[in-house]
Structure 1
Amino acid sequence: MSRPAAPLTSLTWTDHETGHRGYLVIDRLVRGVSSGGLRMRAGCTLDEVTGLARGMTMKEALHYNPEGRYIPLGGAKGGIDCDPRAPEAYGVLVRYLRAMRPYIEHFWTTGEDLGLTQDLVDKAADEAGLVSSIQAVYPLLDDEQAARQRLADAFTIDVDGIGLDELVGGCGVAEAALAALDRAGVPYAGTRVAVQGLGTMGGATARFLARAGLRVVAVADVKGTMANPEGLDVEALLAARDPHGTVDRAALRPGDRELPGDAWLSAEAEILVPAAVSYAIDAANQAGIAARWVVEAANMPVREEAEALLTARGVTVLPDVVVNSGTNAWWWWTLFGDIGADADEAFAYTRRSMRALIDQMLARAEAVGCTPRAAAHGIVADRLPVIAERFGWYR
Structure 2
Amino acid sequence: MSLLEITWTDPVTARRGYVVIDSLVRGVASGGLRLREGCTLEEVRGLARGMSLKEALVHTPGDRYVPMGGAKGGIDIDPGDPEARAVLKRFVTAVLPVIREQWSTGEDFGLRQETLDEIAAELGLASTVEAAFALVADEDAARARLRAAMAEVVEGVPLADLVGGYGVAQAALALGSYETAVVQGFGSIGGAAARYLARAGVRVVGIADREGLMLCPDGLDVERMLAARDGGGVVDRACLRPGDTTAPREAWLDVEADLLVPAAMSYVIGPAEAARVKARVVVEGANLPTLPEAEAAMTARGVTVVPDFLANVMTNAWWWWVVFGDIEPTPEAAFDKIATTMRRLVETVSAEGVPLRKAALALAERNAAALIR
Q: Structure 1-normalised TM-score?
A: 0.93
Q: Say if 1:40 and 1:83, in contact at 8 Å, map to a contact too.
A: yes
Post-superposition Cα deviations, 1:148-199, rounded to whole Å, max 9, x if no partner, equal: 1001000000000000011011111000000011xxxx4x5xx101000000
Secondary structure of the corresponding residue to residue 53 of structure 1 = helix
Equivalent position amino acid for 1:216 in 2:
V
Q: Which residue of 2 aligns with 1:80?
A: 75
- Alignment of 1:386 with 2:363, yes or no, is no
Post-superposition Cα deviations, 1:243-276, rounded to whole Å, max 9, x if no partner, equal: 1101111111111111011111121100000000
Candidates 19, 27, 30, aligned match of 1:35: 30
Query: What pairs up with 1:101-120 in 2 under 5 angstroms?
Result: 101-120=96-115
For residues 124 and 251 of structure 1, the distance between their equivalents in structure 2, rounded to whole angstroms, comes to 34
- Alignment of 1:333 with 2:332, yes or no, is no
Equivalent position amino acid for 2:360 in 1:
A
- Alignment of 1:129 with 2:129, yes or no, is no
Give the CA deviation at 1:79. 0.4
Candidates 12, 17, 23, aligned match of 1:17: 12
Q: Which residue of 2 aligns with 1:392?
A: none
For residues 111 and 157 of structure 1, the distance between their equivalents in structure 2, rounded to whole angstroms, comes to 18
Secondary structure of the corresponding residue to residue 220 of structure 1 = strand
For residues 325 and 384 of structure 1, the distance between their equivalents in structure 2, rounded to whole angstroms, comes to 16
Q: Which residue of 2 aligns with 1:372?
A: 356
Q: Which residue of 2 aligns with 1:301?
A: 289
Which range moves more in the overlay, 122-131 or 103-112?
122-131
Identity of aligned residues (%): 54
Give the CA deviation at 1:33. 0.3
For residues 346 and 110 of structure 1, the distance between their equivalents in structure 2, rounded to whole angstroms, comes to 20
For residues 37 and 128 of structure 1, the distance between their equivalents in structure 2, rounded to whole angstroms, comes to 18
Q: Which residue of 2 aligns with 1:209?
A: 197
Give the CA deviation at 1:129. 3.0
Candidates 30, 40, 47, aligned match of 1:45: 40
For residues 326 and 266 of structure 1, the distance between their equivalents in structure 2, rounded to whole angstroms, comes to 29
Q: Say if 1:218 and 1:232, in contact at 8 Å, map to a contact too.
A: yes
Give the CA deviation at 1:128. 2.9
Secondary structure of the corresponding residue to residue 140 of structure 1 = coil
For residues 316 and 219 of structure 2, the distance between their equivalents in structure 1, rounded to whole angstroms, comes to 30
Q: Which residue of 1 aligns with 2:172?
A: 177
Give the CA deviation at 1:130. 1.9
Q: Which residue of 2 aligns with 1:243?
A: 231
Give the CA deviation at 1:388. 1.2
For residues 372 and 334 of structure 2, the distance between their equivalents in structure 1, rounded to whole angstroms, comes to 28
Q: Say if 1:95 and 1:128, in contact at 8 Å, map to a contact too.
A: no
Unpaired stretches in structure 2, ≥5 consecutive residues: none
Give the CA deviation at 1:52. 0.5
For residues 20 and 224 of structure 1, the distance between their equivalents in structure 2, rounded to whole angstroms, comes to 28
Secondary structure of the corresponding residue to residue 275 of structure 2 = helix
Q: Which residue of 1 aligns with 2:65?
A: 70
For residues 115 and 205 of structure 2, the distance between their equivalents in structure 1, rounded to whole angstroms, comes to 32
Q: Give the length in aligned residue pairs.
A: 373
Q: Say if 1:98 and 1:129, in contact at 8 Å, map to a contact too.
A: no
Q: Structure 2-normalised TM-score?
A: 0.99
Candidates 303, 320, 340, aligned match of 1:315: 303
Unpaired stretches in structure 1, ≥5 consecutive residues: 1-5, 390-395
Equivalent position amino acid for 1:100 in 2:
V
Give the CA deviation at 1:285. 1.3
Q: Which residue of 2 aligns with 1:100?
A: 95
- Alignment of 1:353 with 2:337, yes or no, is no
Give the CA deviation at 1:131. 2.0
- What RMSD in Å do the two structures reach over aligned CA positions? 0.8
- Alignment of 1:266 with 2:261, yes or no, is no
Q: Which residue of 2 aligns with 1:363?
A: 351
Equivalent position amino acid for 2:121 in 1:
D
Secondary structure of the corresponding residue to residue 77 of structure 1 = strand
- Alignment of 1:163 with 2:151, yes or no, is no
Secondary structure of the corresponding residue to residue 162 of structure 2 = helix
Give the CA deviation at 1:310. 0.4
Candidates 133, 136, 144, aligned match of 1:149: 144
For residues 285 and 211 of structure 1, the distance between their equivalents in structure 2, rounded to whole angstroms, comes to 29
Give the CA deviation at 1:330. 0.2
Secondary structure of the corresponding residue to residue 288 of structure 1 = coil
